[in-house]
Chain A
């Protein structure tokens, strides 16, 4: 059953077409990675799907219960402690104060945050810890769908791997659905159930490929082999590393 479906969706910024003829379905309990070259409109697509931007045309249907979003920039409130940041979504959802503490503690534990970190302000946390807080904030609202907008691009390789493991454990392993925007095919192959490719100029989804096995169940060698094969032999992925600096994201 599809929980997110986009039919012929298009979007334009100031008259310049960014997305056109986008058809994409995400099924329940499925994480779809969306890859494509820089500036092709992947982030815009996720913002349209999440309702942050109103599409100029097409039909969008969301049948999940509740979504959350994790951005590339952790987007934490600098004046609030980690605990208050994790509880931000709960506050917006008007969850009674008494119930918030337990949910915050639960989400923090899922994101492997130490209790001592929760009283700190974002300025006192490292980049990786801030992204953990952002992940905990998303998990705290108990979503059944998560949008990931290139969440780990700014992190170094080792940290990125740990964050991917965290997402695999808390989202893919916990039966959540999600749309994972990334330009890193390796990351897509680790985390997702299926990889979709967006056209270089945002003119439709070029196609998708299911990944063998389950996220978290694939060995590094399997992931690497799949990525090598995809890049060398699959025409679908031919252009995903093209870069045109003149394109505006």
Chain B
């Protein structure tokens, strides 16, 4: 007897294409929200004048102007590189520590107060310290991202392990899995529920903190460009750089984090009634 254990390749590809199209279609709602924001912005512009708040149209024009300038691409590239390397560092460190703490209550008890301390220290204080240690370099920005986003990634990973379904562990053990295989086949997968929201949050923090650290540490990048715009009182350029930073974040989040999440959490879609999927 031949039994089909998987859907045929064409069906799987069709299902995936359907998912992508559905996701793109859901972009209308996002666009509506963005245009609503633009409308409020326009109202603010009309109320306070172009010196306080340039219009969305002028800002977009400034963005397009920057897009034609290769040196602006290099500036954005520096910030992108710092934010992503910082994000990778904080993900690695936070997930490792979080997994250990999730399995070991003693580690959790030791880490909790440290996490509170980390959360209590304002990022700006870290910028000052990092500037003294590393000057206006990549390392300064990465360090500040690391300490700012570490608590959320750590807690996301630790919670995922601590709240895992112990029944699955027991089942895996009954089928002969040792501690390592239980972690790899059953434990790790269950962290995604809490880890993905934490990673999305950490990615946002990485971009925000990167720009802030660059501005304050005079380290170039988008932050440096913002500092330049401030000196020239050039609101349009300042807002254009803000837009670019947001666009970079959105691009990374939707090209990197969401596809991975969609692939790993395919089963959750199966649980949704069809009307809720879009």
B residues apposed to A, CB below 8 Å: 1-7, 165, 167-168, 170-177, 181, 185-186, 189, 264-267, 270-271
Q: Check if A188 is an interface residue, CB within 8 A of chain B.
A: no
Please give me the residue from chain B that is nearest to A105 by CB atom. Answer: B3
- Supposing A92-B185, A121-B270 touch, asked if A75 and B6 sit within 8 A by C-beta, the answer is no
Q: Is the CB of B271 within 8 A of A121?
A: yes
Residues of B within 8 A of A105 (CB): 1-3, 5
8 contacts between A and B (CB under 8 A): A68-B174, A71-B171, A75-B167, A79-B267, A101-B3, A105-B2, A115-B3, A124-B270
The complex places the Cα of A41 from the Cα of B174 at a distance, in Å, of 18
Task: Kindly specify which of A6-14, A83-91, A165-173 makes contact with the partner chain.
Answer: A83-91
Since A67-B174, A93-B175, A141-B175 are in contact, a sample of 13 more A-B pairs with Cβ atoms closer than 8 Å, ordered by chain A residue number, is A69-B175, A71-B171, A75-B165, A75-B168, A75-B171, A77-B168, A77-B189, A101-B5, A105-B3, A118-B5, A119-B4, A124-B270, A147-B174
Q: Is the CB of A88 within 8 A of B175?
A: yes
A residues apposed to B, CB below 8 Å: 47, 50, 52, 67-69, 71, 73, 75, 77-81, 83, 88-89, 91-93, 101, 104-105, 108-109, 115, 118-124, 137, 141, 147
Question: Could you tell me the distance in whole angstroms from the C-beta of B204 to the nearest C-beta in chain A?
Answer: 26
State the 8 A-B residue pairs at the shortest beta-carbon distance, nearest first: A105-B3, A75-B171, A69-B174, A123-B271, A83-B5, A89-B175, A121-B267, A121-B270
Q: Is the CB of A50 within 8 A of B174?
A: yes
Q: Is the CB of B170 within 8 A of A93?
A: no
- Supposing A52-B173, A69-B174, A71-B171 touch, asked if A79 and B4 sit within 8 A by C-beta, the answer is no
Q: Is the CB of B1 within 8 A of A93?
A: no
Residues of A within 8 A of B171 (CB): 69, 71, 75
Partner of A71, one of B4, B170, B270: B170
Q: Is the CB of B6 within 8 A of A119?
A: yes
Question: Could you tell me the distance in whole angstroms from the C-beta of B127 to the nearest C-beta in chain A?
Answer: 40
Residues of A within 8 A of B167 (CB): 71, 73, 75
The complex places the Cα of A121 from the Cα of B177 at a distance, in Å, of 22
- Supposing A92-B176, A92-B177 touch, asked if A119 and B5 sit within 8 A by C-beta, the answer is yes
Residues of B within 8 A of A115 (CB): 3-4
The complex places the Cα of A128 from the Cα of B168 at a distance, in Å, of 18
Question: Could you tell me the distance in whole angstroms from the C-beta of B117 to the nearest C-beta in chain A?
Answer: 33
The complex places the Cα of A235 from the Cα of B270 at a distance, in Å, of 52
Residues of B within 8 A of A109 (CB): 1, 3
Partner of B185, one of A50, A67, A91: A91
- Supposing A105-B5, A109-B3 touch, asked if A79 and B264 sit within 8 A by C-beta, the answer is yes
Q: Is the CB of A108 within 8 A of B170?
A: no
The complex places the Cα of A101 from the Cα of B3 at a distance, in Å, of 8
The complex places the Cα of A81 from the Cα of B269 at a distance, in Å, of 13
Residues of A within 8 A of B172 (CB): 88, 92
Partner of B175, one of A68, A73, A81, A122: A68
Residues of A within 8 A of B173 (CB): 52
- Supposing A105-B1, A118-B3, A123-B271 touch, asked if A93 and B168 sit within 8 A by C-beta, the answer is no
Partner of B186, one of A68, A77, A137: A77
Residues of A within 8 A of B186 (CB): 77
Residues of B within 8 A of A67 (CB): 174
Residues of B within 8 A of A89 (CB): 175-176
Residues of A within 8 A of B177 (CB): 92
Question: Could you tell me the distance in whole angstroms from the C-beta of B171 to the nearest C-beta in chain A?
Answer: 4
Please give me the residue from chain A that is nearest to B177 by CB atom. Answer: A92
Please give me the residue from chain B that is nearest to A108 by CB atom. Answer: B3
Residues of B within 8 A of A75 (CB): 165, 167-168, 170-171
Please give me the residue from chain A that is nearest to B7 by CB atom. Answer: A119
The complex places the Cα of A92 from the Cα of B186 at a distance, in Å, of 11
Residues of A within 8 A of B170 (CB): 47, 52, 71, 75
Residues of A within 8 A of B4 (CB): 115, 118-119
Question: Could you tell me the distance in whole angstroms from the C-beta of B228 to the nearest C-beta in chain A?
Answer: 49
Question: Could you tell me the distance in whole angstroms from the C-beta of B44 to the nearest C-beta in chain A?
Answer: 46
